[in-house]
Amino acid sequence: MAFSVTTRSHSYESYDAEDSVFELSDFADSSDQTCMRQDLVDQKSRRHKRFVRRHSYSPYEVKVKTLAHHHQWKAPEFFRGAKLPPGRMVAHQSSLPHLPVPDLVQTLQKYLKVVRPLVDDIGFQKTKQLVEEFGKPGGLGESLQSKLQSRAQERQNWLDDWWLHTAYLDYREPVVINASPGIVCPPQDFNGKKEQLQFAAKLVAGVLDYKVQIDDQSVPIDKLRTRPLCMDQYYKLFSACRLPGEQRDQVVVYGPDCGVRPRHIVVVHNNQFFSLDVYDNNWKPLSQDHIHAQLKRVVCQSKHPSVPVGILTTENRDTWGRVYNQALKKDKTNKLSLEAINRSIFMLCLDQETVREKDRWTSMGHQLMHGGGSQHNSGNRWFDKTLQFTVGTDGAVGIVYEHSPAEGPPIIALLDHMLDYCSQSPAVKETSVHPKEPQRLHFSLNNSVLEAIDNAKKSLDMQVRDLDLHLVTFKTYGKDFPKSQRLSPDSYIQIAMQLAYYKVNKVACATYESGSTRMFHLGRTDTIRSASVESLKFCQAMQDSSIQPSEKVALLRRAVEGHKKYAQETVSGQGIDRHLLGLKLIAVEAGLDVPDLFEDSTYGQAVHFKLSTSQVPSKYDSLLCFGPVVPDGYGICYNPAEDHINFCISAFNSHRETDTVKLATALNQSLLDMQELLQTQAKL
């Protein structure tokens, strides 16, 4: 079947539009399909109810009800071994301002403003009363605010451990698709095992070259315009791993103060793991030629697929935590192998061919997000590892990363460096000098572990079948056009997404955009809320032919400028979402009931993010892919270049009303309509 977006529009183009559309029908006969779809919907809706019950905040957030049962809750130890020795980075970090606690009245007023387009009049009036009650002088809001301010005075960052914990480590759904992004690199021009290994050797050398800057603390400091940003995340990427627990996970980083510094990477091929030293005796990284020779040895020793023990890392976290702690780790051989994986600098996955989906780029998106299923590359992974670089025999290259230590930008900085290195380095040469033999990591798998692997395969395959993914490039223009109109490109794209969603659904929905708070010490993100009264007015006007184009232009500009203002406030630490989260968590910590404001159905709607979006720019045509955060929603990541924009859109097949191709088509049309509107008006 033809790739429908390409046939409907000349502006969108996939890299290789052919083959069939990814549907449930590809995997089951029609009689099974209804059952399977129903099963997936039920499972997802059960999962979602559990999730909302537990988190009642945002897709990524807070296990409030559970925490309320544990008034003595304390933040666990994070990032063991991640302390940096004194140096340039430590000096930079300590010069950064602390994350502020926004003003209470300001947050409550903004909250009413952002929920207005999402709820009806009756719901809004009820919410207004709850807000007034919460915020009244001497009321609960003021008392929680003062507790939060005290917390902020005692810590470097009042939010960071709460956030890490509630957004990531307490999250019990599988990290694959739900939490761990995959980053697709531009497809490489090679095919076959020989070239795969040559490219992989360059890639490893390029990553080690980048690590030199981490080790001597000389990574260039990121800036937002002129303001320097927190660089902490860069130092938690290498030699790091998530460890599964039965109720909560941990992250460990084998940093400079961890004792014996890791000197190996782990290479996985045909589901078999090998430890490979990548430094010589003087701590000089091995050359790409030596790495290449070592990779050839790994491949020679793993010619056939073995039991995919790595697939266990795709499981629900409680299940995996049980298997890890109660079965796998108890065996001495396994313990050594697990330690080698956890401590390794990073993982290199030498993959088989990518499973073909509707087009090559989308196929690569699937490959990076989950590995294609249990019969393909999903067992050739360790999804708990913070950094996994994948190189397929067919030129599919990318990074899979475990999200808890960092957002996309530091990973993209590494990826850009790595791709620069690969394109500039000379051809790999054969060498007869062999460093130390790669060490196979053995696993002893008893019946209970084998059974767990079988179960993991089945549940992963269901998740894989359920992912609806679409990677496309909008080619008509990029950042250049909104800039020429004196509009912020990011805000403009966000409003285009609002219009696209409105075209398809005829309503606005709660929309999450990641806004970086790295201007502050240990800052991560807050939510830029892109759905607003102004964006809704613009979307409604665009569907109404009686409204004059000049008025539509005014509404468009107001919506874009309103978004930009909200975004600027968010990155300056004046967002509302993390503040409200803090007020809720501080109540829980104080042993109080969750305030009524957070039990209100409006609040439920406000944090049910049917559009979960993020801009992750790269100088290459790379694209970060992540899944939706609610069963009936979309995940959209975009990489805007000057003259085109790459989009990855995800949804779940089990939800009948979502459809990535349909949304992509509407987005394409929205971007074209907005350009036409602005250009036509400019000519008048």
Stretch that binds ligand COA, among 25-33, 108-116, 303-311, 482-490 (CB under 6 A): 482-490
Q: How far is the CB of 621 from ligand COA (least distance, A)?
A: 16
Q: How far is the CB of 569 from ligand COA (least distance, A)?
A: 11
CA–CA distances in Å: residue 296 to residues 193, 287, 354: 10, 14, 21
Nearer of residues 499 and 571 to ligand COA, judged by Cβ = 571
Nearer of residues 235 and 603 to ligand COA, judged by Cβ = 235
Nearer of residues 46 and 227 to ligand COA, judged by Cβ = 227
Nearer of residues 483 and 619 to ligand COA, judged by Cβ = 483
Helix (H) or strand (E) holding 648: strand 645-652
Tell me the number of residues near ligand COA by CB under 6 A.
Answer: 21
Stretch that binds ligand COA, among 279-287, 290-298, 511-519, 529-537 (CB under 6 A): 511-519
Among 486, 545, 683, 684, binds ligand COA (CB under 6 A): 486
Query: Is residue 515 part of the contact set for ligand COA (CB under 6 A)?
Result: yes
Stretch that binds ligand COA, among 215-223, 441-449, 452-460, 610-618 (CB under 6 A): 610-618
Q: How far is the CB of 567 from ligand COA (least distance, A)?
A: 5
Q: What is the secondary structure of 258-278 as a DSSP string?
A: SSSPP-EEEEEETTEEEEEE-
Stretch that binds ligand COA, among 55-63, 148-156, 508-516, 591-599 (CB under 6 A): 508-516
Q: How far is the CB of 318 from ligand COA (least distance, A)?
A: 25
Residues 554-573, mask of contacts with ligand COA (x by CB under 6 A): -------------x---x--
Considering only residues 208 through 247, tell me which ones interact with ligand COA, judged by CB under 6 A.
Answer: 224
Cα separation, 163 vs 185, whole angstroms: 29
Query: Is residue 407 part of the contact set for ligand COA (CB under 6 A)?
Result: yes
Nearer of residues 70 and 619 to ligand COA, judged by Cβ = 619
Strand partners, 223: 228
CA–CA distances in Å: residue 464 to residues 202, 229, 303, 358, 461: 31, 37, 26, 15, 5
Stretch that binds ligand COA, among 239-247, 343-351, 514-522, 572-580 (CB under 6 A): 514-522
DSSP state of 614: E
> Please, are residues 570 and 527 in contact by the beta-carbon 8 Å criterion?
yes
Stretch that binds ligand COA, among 299-307, 344-352, 406-414, 470-478 (CB under 6 A): 406-414
Stretch that binds ligand COA, among 53-61, 348-356, 609-617, 646-654 (CB under 6 A): 609-617
Judged by phi (left if over 0) then psi (alpha if -120 to 50, else beta), residue 468 lies in beta
> Please, are residues 209 and 87 in contact by the beta-carbon 8 Å criterion?
no
Among 194, 483, 619, 656, binds ligand COA (CB under 6 A): 483
Q: Provide the 3-class DSSP secondary structure of residue 483.
A: helix
Strand partners, 349: 268, 390
> Please, are residues 523 and 230 in contact by the beta-carbon 8 Å criterion?
yes
- The answer to whether residue 403 is catalytic is yes
Among 188, 344, 614, 618, binds ligand COA (CB under 6 A): 614
Cα separation, 56 vs 62, whole angstroms: 7
DSSP state of 312: G
Q: How far is the CB of 165 from ligand COA (least distance, A)?
A: 18
Nearer of residues 364 and 616 to ligand COA, judged by Cβ = 616
Query: Is residue 487 part of the contact set for ligand COA (CB under 6 A)?
Result: yes
Amino acid at 44: K
Considering only residues 518 through 537, tell me which ones interact with ligand COA, judged by CB under 6 A.
Answer: 525, 528
Cα separation, 174 vs 293, whole angstroms: 36
Closest CA to 387 of 342, 334, 329, 421: 342
Among 288, 516, 612, 669, binds ligand COA (CB under 6 A): 516
Nearer of residues 440 and 564 to ligand COA, judged by Cβ = 564
Among 488, 527, 622, 650, binds ligand COA (CB under 6 A): 488
Cα separation, 65 vs 73, whole angstroms: 12
Query: Is residue 489 part of the contact set for ligand COA (CB under 6 A)?
Result: yes
Judged by phi (left if over 0) then psi (alpha if -120 to 50, else beta), residue 573 lies in left
Q: How far is the CB of 514 from ligand COA (least distance, A)?
A: 4
Choose, from 403, 470, 579, 655, the residue flagged as catalytic: 403
* CB neighbourhood size of 16 (10 A): 15
Q: How far is the CB of 512 from ligand COA (least distance, A)?
A: 10
Angle at 525 between CA 632 and CA 484, to 5 degrees: 85
Query: Is residue 409 part of the contact set for ligand COA (CB under 6 A)?
Result: yes
Nearer of residues 24 and 413 to ligand COA, judged by Cβ = 413
Nearer of residues 528 and 541 to ligand COA, judged by Cβ = 528
* CB neighbourhood size of 591 (10 A): 11
Q: Both tokens of residue 384?
A: 């708990």
CA–CA distances in Å: residue 71 to residues 64, 512, 566, 588, 656: 11, 30, 35, 7, 41
Closest CA to 279 of 207, 196, 218, 194: 207
Active-site positions? Answer: 403
- Binding positions for ligand COA, rule: CB under 6 A: 224, 407-409, 479, 483, 486-490, 514-516, 525, 528, 567, 571, 614-616
